[in-house]
Amino acid sequence: MPELPEVETIRIGLSGFLPGKQVQSVCSDNARSFPNAPKDVDEFLIGAKITDVRRRAKVLLIDLDSVYTLVIHLKMTGQLVFVQGTAPKPQTVKSKTQNDPPSTNRHLLTTKTEVRFGAGHPSDSLIGKLPDKSTRAIIEFKDASKLFFNDQRKFGWARLMPTIEVPNIDFMKKVGPEPLEADFTQSIFRNRIRRRAKSSVKAVLLDQTVLAGVGNIYADESLWGAKIHPSTIVGTLSDQKLNKLYDALLAVLRLSIEKGGSTDKNYVNAEGKKGSYLSFANVFRREGQPCARCSTLLIKVRVAGRGTHLCPNCQKVATP
């Protein structure tokens, strides 16, 4: 679920909290979610200070002064939850599904001022209830603040590795350019998209080796913006159409970062606010609703193995 705008929102938020924090202790389930050997954690994470929080594609990079980096991919349901260690300030945010009596919250931490990042699930809407059963790792800092890594579906992972080796990860070597970097021009976009001339344009947008950071939400939104059917074969698209797609893609990515990303179930940014992009979305999860341009009812189909939202009137399959 977290795509480029969500991970960037998380990066911005964590950048306000983490630099300078010194790691006091770490606990994890030692499974796939955080597979490092305990001795490496002892040597390179415990006692280290965080120097920077970076992002590449959908990957978060938390740099340490041990010259190691914590590399985190949230995949679909991963979250990073930062909990301040001081000034406990009880909050009562109720689940929308039920009114949980406080007495049932047996896992309340002593500190309750928390900031949650990333994709979530309904049980997460009770702020202050951590760790929960999706918690995979907890990093505690010397000032008693904590960073929780939660992931309901265990697709995400966090890995500690030497900073200098991060660019050598297979994913990092293969991943395409950042679409919001200044030197990512229309012609570079067209050339990279055209590398997969026989594929559907949606499959190519989702291909991280073509360009970095686009997932299902922003693929659908940008194709609607450019009036291109997601099944259109890349080779049949004109330069003009691809330029429109470039413009639409950059516009939706920028708008979403401005809105703090997309909140599906729940998700808040550094200021405790939900990402609001989905309320600006034109097609994603809006099947059955009228198209904002032509009022035709939006539909949901399957393209490139993904649920795909489009306007059947504005986005017709290109006929060569």
Partner DNA sequence: CACTTGACCTGTCCGC
Partner DNA sequence: TGCGGACAGGTCAAGT
Does residue 43 have an active-site annotation?
Answer: no
Label residues 209-235 b or e (16+ Cβ within 10 Å = b): ebbbbbbbbbbbbbbbbbbbbbbbbbe
Q: Does 56 bind DNA (CB under 7 A)?
A: no
Q: How many helices (H) and strands (E) does the chain have?
A: 7, 11
Instruction: Give the integer Cα–Cα distance in Å for 249 and 266.
Output: 24
Q: What is the DSSP string of 8-65?
A: HHHHHHHHTTSTT-BEEEEEE--STTS---HHHHHHHTTT-BEEEEEEETTEEEEEET
271 is a catalytic site residue: no
Q: Based on the residue annotation, tell me whether 162 is a catalytic residue of this protein.
A: no
Tell which one of 9, 199, 232, 266 touches DNA (CB under 7 A): 199
- Using the minimum distance from each CB to DNA, give the nearer residue, 16 or 35: 35
Regarding 39 and contact with DNA (CB under 7 A), the answer is no
Q: Report whether 297 contacts 290 (CB < 8 A).
A: yes
Binding DNA (rule: CB under 7 A), the pick from 217, 223, 245, 298 is 217
Should residue 197 be labelled a site residue for DNA when binding is judged by CB under 7 A? yes
Q: Does 192 interact with DNA (rule: CB under 7 A)? A: no
Q: Does 9 bind DNA (CB under 7 A)?
A: no
Residues 88-147 that bind DNA (CB under 7 A): 121-123, 133-134
Q: Which residues of this protein are in contact with DNA, per CB under 7 A? A: 1, 3, 32, 57-59, 73, 75-76, 121-123, 133-134, 152-155, 170-171, 174, 195-200, 203, 206, 208, 215-217, 300, 302, 304-307
Residues with catalytic roles = 2-3, 58, 306
